[in-house]
Amino acid sequence: MHMLFLDESGTPPSPNAHRSNNFFVIGGLVIPEHLWHRVRDGLLGTKLRFGVRGEVKWRYFAPENTDAANPMREMASTKRYELRSAIFQLLRDIGGLTALACITSTSEVYGRGIVADRDALYEATYRQVSERFQYHLRDVSKQRGERQLGMIVCDHRSVHDDARLRNHHEELLLARTKRQGTYPDLVEGLFLQSSHLSVGIQLADMIAGAVWRKYEKNDARWFEEIKPIFRRRAGLIDGAGLVRFPKPEIK
């Protein structure tokens, strides 16, 4: 069994607010079941070394972030950098983990009429990531010579958002059109969990944040640290582990 944990970079912007956020990202981490305890113990041990008790979120690492819920609010910015780097090194060192992400251009999807609202934007981005997870399961099945199954765990949001995403996930599982992929290797429906209770979702948030910063802020420092674990096809992550949506128009 392979578990894909997903989280997003902030809130998907509405059509009237997208100019303040040029990109929206959903990032994920695939953890095979036999590695889950190692990932959990590694993250807990890293937090312990840095004296952190609580949830790690991408936004908590910003030097100016002093949210009451931020367990690093008293930590110097240099230490925050060291902790973030240590977490990414942990994921690289474990081996067998796979990162996935979709980076959606909000101006493109709204400007070209691909989506009409923030819900549709989220769903379109989610579809790109979930399809790559299915492709990943097929790849691993071929490598191991036996069928590999997977499940998806997403960050809990609002009641409305959760219900809509569950329905969207179910529609994807049942879709049989040429324009949408099928998901024969996913089990059950969508699983939802609060991020502070999930090691996997906290790490997915870190991946989404690194990808978002690369595109939104033109700062690839943290993306480069996590890049080695992204899914690849023919040695390339573009279109395989990291999807740009919509595809850039050829001019």
Whether residue 141 is predicted with pLDDT greater than 90 in this model: the reply is yes
Give just the sign of the alpha carbon dihedral 119, 121, 122, 123.
positive
CA–CA gap between residue 150 and residue 1 (Å, rounded)? 5
| 121 in any annotated domain | yes
| Whole-number Å distance between alpha carbons of 142 and 135 | 11
Q: Per the domain annotation, does 133 fall within a domain?
A: yes
Q: Is residue 53 part of a domain?
A: yes
Query: What confidence category does residue 251 fall into, taking pLDDT thresholds of 50, 70 and 90?
Result: very low
d(CA 157, CA 168): 15
For the chain, what is the domain count? 1
Residue 137 falls inside a structural domain: yes
| Tens-digit pLDDT profile for residues 151-210 | 999 999 999 999 999 999 999 988 765 556 689 999 988 999 999 999 999 999 999 999
Q: What is the pLDDT of residue 132?
A: 97
Range of the domain at 201: 2-245
251 domain residue, yes or no: no
Residue 250 lies in a domain: no
Query: Residue 235: which CATH number?
Result: 3.30.420.10
